[in-house]
Structure 1
Amino acid sequence: MSATKFISPYDDKAPAGSEGWRELYPYYMLFHDNLKEREEAKFFFCDSQHWPNVFKPFDAITVEFFVRCLGAYNTRQWLIPPANGVDFKIHNGYCYMSPVGVSPELIGDRVPQFLERAGHYFMNWNDLLDNWHQKVQRVIKDMETLKFEPLPDVISIEDVKGGVGTDPSLQLSQNYNRLIELCYEVCMYHFEFLNLGYAAYLDFFGFCKESFPNIPDLAVAKMVQGIEVDLFRPDEEIRKLAKLAIELNVSAVVLENDVNDALSALATSENGQQWLAAWEAAKNPWFNFTSGNGMYSSDKYWRDHLDIPFGYLKTYTGRLLKGENIDRPTEAIAAERERITEEYRDLLPNDEAIAAFEGKLGLARLVFPYVENHNFYIEHWSLGVFWRKMRELSAIFQKAGFWSDVEDIFYFRREEIWQIIFDYGNAWAIGVPYIGPDYLPQEIERRKGILAALATAPPKPAYNEPPAVITEPFTIMLWGITTESVQSWLGGSDDTSSLKGMAASPGVVEGRARVITSAEDLDQLVEGEILVTRVTAPSWAPVFGKIKATVTDIGGMMSHAAIVCREYGLPAVTGTGSASTAIKTGDLIKVNGSSGEVLIVEAA
C-alpha cells in the first residue's frame, strides 16, 4: 500500500557536512520550529522546474523577487478568481512551493474585478505590450549604465572645488542598491502579462473540455501551437549562420577550429569577413542568451562564452553537409494546428458555440507568444546584464583582497554585500586596513563546503499531505503537478519499469536514454538518444536536432519544455516526478508523448 503523505520538512534532515546552512538564506524563506503546526498543514512541492540546483546565498534573490512579484499580480492586481500567490521556502538548499488558493466564498467577488482589469489588457494587448518592451529595454539600459569603480586614493580636485560634498563610496553603495532595485523592477514586468497568457489559455481549455468532454489535453495545446517567438531566435540565428557558412564556402574554417581561431581565420578573407558581419549582427541582442534558465549566477551566457553558440553552429554545419534538414518543422506544425482546429470546430452544434470557440481561441493565440517571449527579455537578457554587473562590483573586492575569485561575491546574501561595501568604504575613509580580507576568505570556504554537502542529496519531491484532489489550474498547467503525478511520487505503483507523466508533445519513439543533470553535460548527448532530465531550459533547443524525445521530472502542458518540444516536433513526456533518477544513461526506453507513458524496455 502506498503512503498517503510525504515527509515533513521538519523531519527531512540536511546531509552531513551542511550544518549551518540555514544562516545562508533570509529568515522568511525558512521553516521555523515555532510555526511547525501551520507549515505542516500546507502541501509544498519542489520547484525544480525553475530552480533545479542548490542556491548560493545571493542567487536566492531570484526566488524572492520572482515569486513575490507573481503573488502581487495574482492577488493584488489581477485578482485572479481562484488563485492568490505561491508561498515559498528554501529547505536543504532547494526551493519548495505551496500555491495559495482563494476561499470559495470570495471567488465570486473577484470575478467582475478580474474581468475589468484583465479585459482592459486583452482589449489593448498590442499597445500595452509595446509599452512593456519599452519599459524592459529601459531597465536593461539603466543596468548597463551603472558603473562600479574602485575608490580613488584621493577625492578629485574637481569634486572639491565643485563643492560636491560627498565621497565616491556613496555612489558605490547607491549603484549597488540601484542594481538590486532594477532587478526587482524587471521581475515585476515578468508577470505583467504572463498569468493573463495562462488565463486566456485556461479559459479556452475549459471551454474545450466542456464542449468536447473526451478531448485530450494535448489536442487543446495543438490548437495554439505554431507560434513565432523571440525565444527561438537565438537558435534560428545559429541555423542561418550555418547555412551562410556553406553558402560562402567557409564551412571548413568553422568545423576545423575552435571559436577564437575560427574568428581570426575568417577575418583574413572577403567571404570570411562577410560571414563575420552576420555573426556580429546576430550577437546583439540574440547572444544575450544563457545555456541555463538565467536564475543562477553560474549560468553561462552566449555573449560571454562564445564557444557555446559556436559549438551549436558546428553541429548544424556538419548536419547540413550530410544533407540533413535543420529547419524547425513549422509548416507541418501549422498544418496540424489547422487540421485539429477544424476537426473540433465542426463538432460544435451552432453558430453561437462556433463564435465562442473562435473568440476564445483567437485570444489564446494572440496572448500565447508572450508565455515564451518574456523569457528572452527577462531571464536571458535582463538577468544576464544583472549578473554581469554584479561581477563588475565583485572585481573591485577581488582586487582589494576580499576574495580570490570574482564568483565569490555570490556566496553572500544581498544585505551582507551592503556590509562588505561599507567595510571597503569605511577602511578607505579612515585610512586603516579592510577587515574583509582577514575574515571573508575563510567564510567563503565554509559556505562552499556547506553548499557542496547540500548538493550531495537530491531534493525530496514534496512535503506534507497533498490535497485529495489537485484542482489549482496553474499548478497543473505550469508544473504538471496533478492528483495522479503526486500519487506516483508517493509510490502508488509497484511497476518500476513504467513511468507516467504529462502527454506534452505527441509521438512515440524508442531509444537509449541520456540522463543530463545540467547544461554543462549537454555535449555528452549522442545523436539518436533520448534526453532525460529534471527539466530542460528553452536554450537547450539547439540539441533537439540530435535527440529523439525528451522526458522530464517536472513540468505541465504549459511548461517551457512542453511548448518548445511541440514547436520543434519532438515527442515529450513531462512531470514524471522521478524519471531522472529512475532511468539510467544507456537504458533502452520507449517514450509515448501522446499518452504520457515512459517504459524502460531494457536496463543498460
Structure 2
Amino acid sequence: MSTTTAARSLEGESTASRSFPSPYDQAPPAGAEGWKDLYAYNLVFQDNRRAVEEAKFWFCDSQHWPTVTKPFETIGFEFAVGCLGQYNSRQLLIPTANGIEYRMHNGYLYMSPVAVAPEQIEARVPQFMERAGHYFQNWESLLQNWHVKLRATIDEMESIDFSALPEKIALDDVLSGKGTGPGTELLGDYDRMIALAYRAWQYHFEFLNLGYVAYLDLFMFCKSVFPRISDQAIATMVQGVDMELFRPDDELKKLAKLAVKNGLTDVFADTSDAEALLATIGGRSGGAEWLAQWKESQDPWFNFTTGNGFYAHDEYWRDVPSTPLAFIKGYIDRIHAGHDIDRDIQHLIVERDRITEEYAELLDGEALETFRGKIGLARTVYPYVENHNFYIEHWTMGVFWRKMRQLSGVLQAEGFWPQANDMFYLRRDEVREVLFDYVNGWMVGAPAIGPDYWPAEVERRRGIVAALETARPQPALNTPPEVITEPFTLMLWGITTEQIQNWLGEGDQVEGTLKGMAASPGIAEGPARVISSASQLSEVQDGDILVAPVTAPSWVPVFGKIRATVTDIGGMMSHAAIVCREYGMPAVTGTGTGSTEIRTGQMIRVDGNTGTVTILD
C-alpha cells in the first residue's frame, strides 16, 4: 500500500488536518490474528489506553528494525531505547530531550519522543553542564576506561557456555561439598547473559548521546552565526576522521593486497567453500603468511555482522567466513582492474579544512574563539558516534546471539521445539520458564512438560510472524505535529516536516522524483540496484547506485563499486549518511519509499546536494 493511499483524514474528509492511520484501526495481515499475544503487554497498544496512545505521533524505526521482530528479539530495542532514555533524562539531564516511548504494531517498532516540559528546561541546564562537562573535559581517559569495562563484559559473556544437563552430578562436586547442581548454573548463566547484555547497552549510551549533543551544539551555533549555511557544510567540518568502524573493511583490503603480493589470487575464484579455500591457501607458497594475517584480522575485527546486530539471524564474519572471503575477492578483482581500493582520507581532510576556514574568516573575536572550541570538541567526540557501533551492535551482540543460539540448540535437542533457532519465537521471560521446566524435570527424574507444549505453539507463532512479514509497515501512526523540532528525530532518523508531507502525499511532488535528506554531497547517475538484505550484495555491479530500505556498516566493501546511495530512512547523522560522506559518495536518505518505487536497472540521478532522486527512465 502506498503512503499516499495510507493517508487519511483524522475526523472525516471535511477536516483540514491530515493523519496517518491509527494503530487501533489498522488490522493485521491475514494469518497474523492474535499477534499481540506474542509480545509483552507493555510493548503493544492496549485498548483501554486508546485516547492516550492516539494523542501521540509515532514513526516506524525501520532504520534499526527494518523487518518483523520475533518475541525474543525485542530485547534489542527494549535495552537500546530504554538505555538511551536513561542517559537523556536521568544521567545527563539533557535540557531539551527525554527518552523515547516505543510500541510494537503488526510486528514492527514505532517510536514517539518524550518532550521535556518547558518549565523544566532551565533547571536542567546547569545540571547538564556539570555532568556533560565532566565527560567533555576528561573524554580520552573516560573513553579508555570505557574500553576496559566493555572488554571485560565481552570476555565474561564469552566465558558462558550452555550445554545439556548431565546424567548425574560430577563426583568431585559431590565429594567437595559444593552443595548445588548444574541446573543452578544453567539458570544463573542465562540470567547473567541477559544482565551482561543490559550492562553493555548502558555502556553504549554512556558516550553516544554526548557525541550527538556536541555535534548538535556546533550545528545550532553555525546556524545562528551563518544563517545561510547548509547542513552538509556543517557535516563536512567534522569529516575525515579515523574511525574504528572502518577497521573490518580495512582488514579485508589488507588481506586482498597480501593475496595479490603473494600470488594467491587464483585461489579466490570460488569463495563459497571457506574451509577448502583456506586449506588450499595453507598449501601454497606465501600461504602461511596470509593465513597468519587472516587469523590476526579476525580478532576482533571479524566480529562484524552483515545485518545490524538486532536480529538473532544476523550472520557474523567470524561465523560465516565465506562472507569476508567474498569481499576480499571483490577487492582483488578491483586491484587487478587497476583501481585504488583505499579510502581517500586526505581529500576529505583538505575539504574539511577548506570549508572550516572559509567560515572562520567570517568571524572574529569571541565568536571566532567559540567557533574554534565547538569545532574542536565535535571532532574529538564525533568518532564515537560510529565507533560504538562496532563494539556494541557488532561485537557484543555477536557474542550474545551466538550464545543464545547455543542455548536454543540445547533445548531443541531436548525436544522443546523442532528447529535449532526456534527459541527466538519465545519472549525472554518465557525462556526462563522453559529453563526452569527443563531443570525441574531433570532434578526430579521425570520428563519436562515443555516438549509436549512448545512445538505446536512455536509452529503457531512461526505462522503469525510469517504472516506479519507479508505487509510493509506504515511509515507513521496518528496525527503528526505541525512542525518536527525534536533534534535527534531530525538528525538521526531524518523525520522532517517535509518528509511527513511527502508520506502523506501532500508535499510538492514531481512525477518521477523522490525527495529525501541531502545526506552527502555530489551528483551521480547510473543504474539502480535495489537490495533489501546483505545476501544480495553479490549482485552489485560496478557503476550501480545502491537503493535500499536501509544500509548496514558491513556493506562498506561494495562502496568501492557504487556511485551513490539512496535509502528509505535516515537523517544527517544516520550510519548511511556518515559512511557515504566518509567515502566521498553522494547520498539521499529518508526518501520513504525509494526501495519500492525504484526498480533494479532503472537509470536514476542522485543529487546529494538537494536531496532529490530522479528516475530517468
Q: TM-score, normalised by structure 2?
A: 0.96
In structure 2, the partner of 1:205 is: 219
Q: Does 1:176 align with 2:190?
A: yes
Structure 2 residue 278 is matched with structure 1 residue 263: yes
Cα deviation code 1:371-419 (max 9, x no counterpart):
0000000000000000011112122112212223221111110000011
Q: Report the 3-state secondary structure (helix = DSSP H, G, I; strand = E; otherwise coil) of the residue aligned with 2:98.
A: strand
Name the CA distance, whole Å, in 2 between partners of 1:104 and 1:436: 52
Q: How does 1:9-24 map to 2 (within 5 A)?
A: 9-24=23-38
- In structure 1, how many angstroms separate the alpha carbons of the residues matched to 2:561 and 2:452? 50
Match of 1:478 among 486, 489, 492: 492
**2:12 matched to which residue of 1?**
none
Instruction: Map 1:159-558; keep pairs closer than 5 Å.
Output: 159-256=173-270, 258=272, 259-348=274-363, 350-493=364-507, 494-558=509-573
Q: Matched residues in 2 for 1:506 and 1:601: separation?
A: 20
Paired position in structure 1 for 2:14 = none
Question: How far apart, in 1, do the equivalents of 2:334 and 2:537 lie?
Answer: 17
Instruction: Tell me the secondary structure at the aligned position of residue 29 of structure 2.
Output: coil
Contact (CA 8 Å) 2:415, 2:451: kept in 1 or not? yes
Aligned partners of 1:185, 1:396: CA distance in 2, in Å?
25
Of residues 64, 79, 82, the one that matches 2:96 is: 82
Number of residue pairs matched by the alignment: 601
2:586 maps to 1:571: yes
* Match 1:92 to one of 106, 114, 118: 106
Distance in 2 of aligned mates of 1:408 and 1:577? 32
Match of 2:15 in 1: none
More moved, 502-511 vs 393-402:
393-402
Distance in 2, Cα, partners of 1:89 & 1:510: 39
SS of the residue aligned with 2:19? coil
Displacement after TM superposition at 1:554 (Å): 0.7
Tell me the SS of whatever aligns to 1:101. Answer: coil
Q: What secondary structure does 1:95 align onto? A: strand
Q: Which moved more, 1:515-524 or 1:49-58?
A: 515-524
User: What amino acid is aligned across from residue 385 of structure 1 in structure 2?
Assistant: V
Whole-angstrom distance in 2 between the partners of 1:261 and 1:170: 42
Structure 1 unaligned residues grouped into runs of 5+: none
1:363 positional shift:
0.2
> In structure 2, what is the equivalent of residue 72 of structure 1?
86
| Matched position secondary structure for 1:246 | helix
After the TM superposition, which residues 90-129 of structure 1 pair with which residues of structure 2 at under 5 Å, given as runs?
Answer: 90-129=104-143
Q: Secondary structure at the match of 1:376?
A: helix
Would you say the 8 A contact 2:271–2:325 is kept in 1? no
Q: CA deviation at 1:198?
A: 0.4
Q: Mean Cα displacement is larger for which, 493-502 or 220-229?
A: 493-502
Correspondence list, 1:139-158, <5 A: 139-158=153-172
Of 591, 594, 607, which residue of structure 2 is paired with 1:592? 607
In the alignment, does 2:43 pair up with 1:29?
yes
Cα offset, 1:183, TM superposition? 0.4
**Distance across 1 between alignment mates of 2:610 and 2:345:** 23
Q: Quote the Cα distance in structure 2 between the aligned partners of 1:277 and 1:354.
A: 51
CA drift of 1:526 comes to 2.0
Q: Give me the whole-angstrom Cα distance separating, in 2, the residues matched to 1:226 and 1:130.
A: 22
Task: Give secondary structure in 2 for the equivalent of 1:48.
Answer: coil
Separation of aligned partners in 1, 2:437 and 2:33: 27
CA–CA separation in structure 1 for the residues paired with 2:514 and 2:163: 54
CA contact (8 A) 2:386 2:575 kept: yes
What SS is found at the alignment partner of 1:263? helix
CA shift at 1:256, angstroms? 4.7
Decide whether aligned partners of structure 1 residues 464 and 257 sit closer, same or farther in structure 2, where only a CA change above 3 A counts: closer
Letter in 1 for 2:22: S
- 8 A contact 1:238–1:312 mirrored in 2: yes
Given the superposition, is the C-alpha separation of residues 254 and 279 from structure 1 closer, same or farther in structure 2, using an over 3 Å criterion? same
Cα shift at 1:427: 1.4
AA at the equivalent of 2:608 = G
CA distance, structure 2, for counterparts of residue 390 and residue 28 of structure 1? 24
Kept after mapping to 2: 8 A contact 1:513/1:589? yes
RMSD: 1.2
Distance 1:473 1:26 in 2: 30
Most deviating of 281-290 and 587-596:
587-596
Structure 2 SS opposite 1:535: coil
The one-letter code matched in structure 2 to 1:197 is G
What is the alpha-carbon distance in structure 2 between the residues aligned to residue 280 and residue 151 of structure 1? Answer: 33
Q: Which residue in 1 is equivalent to 2:71?
A: 57
Residue deviations 1:280-305, cap 9 Å, x none?
Answer: 11001000000011011111000000
**In the aligned structure 1, how far is the partner of 2:470 from the partner of 2:544?**
27
Q: 1:59 aligns to what SS in structure 2? A: helix
Deviates more, 1:532-541 or 1:425-434: 425-434
What is the CA–CA distance in structure 2 between the aligned matches of 1:265 and 1:519, rounded to whole Å?
27
| Contact 1:245/1:254 (8 A) holds in 2 | no
Closer/same/farther in 2, CA of residues 566 and 34 from structure 1, 3 Å limit:
same
Deviations 1:412-431, CA, capped at 9 Å, x for gaps = 10000011111111111222
Q: Given the superposition, is the C-alpha separation of residues 398 and 244 from structure 1 closer, same or farther in structure 2, using an over 3 Å criterion?
A: same
Shift in Å, 1:57: 0.8
Task: Specify the SS of the correspondent of 2:546.
Answer: strand
Q: Is the 8 A contact 1:88 1:98 kept in 2?
A: yes
Q: Conserved in 2, the CA contact under 8 Å of 1:86 and 1:99? A: yes
Deviation, 1:41, is 0.5
Match of 1:6 among 6, 9, 20: 20
Structure 1 stretch 542-551 or stretch 360-369: which is displaced more? 542-551
The answer as to whether partners of 1:255 and 1:318 remain within 8 angstroms in 2 is: no
CA distance in 2 between counterparts of 1:344 and 1:406 reads: 58
SS at match of 1:154: coil
| Cα deviation, residue 223, structure 1 | 0.3
Give SS of 1:331's match.
helix
Where in structure 2 are there 5+ consecutive unaligned residues? 9-17
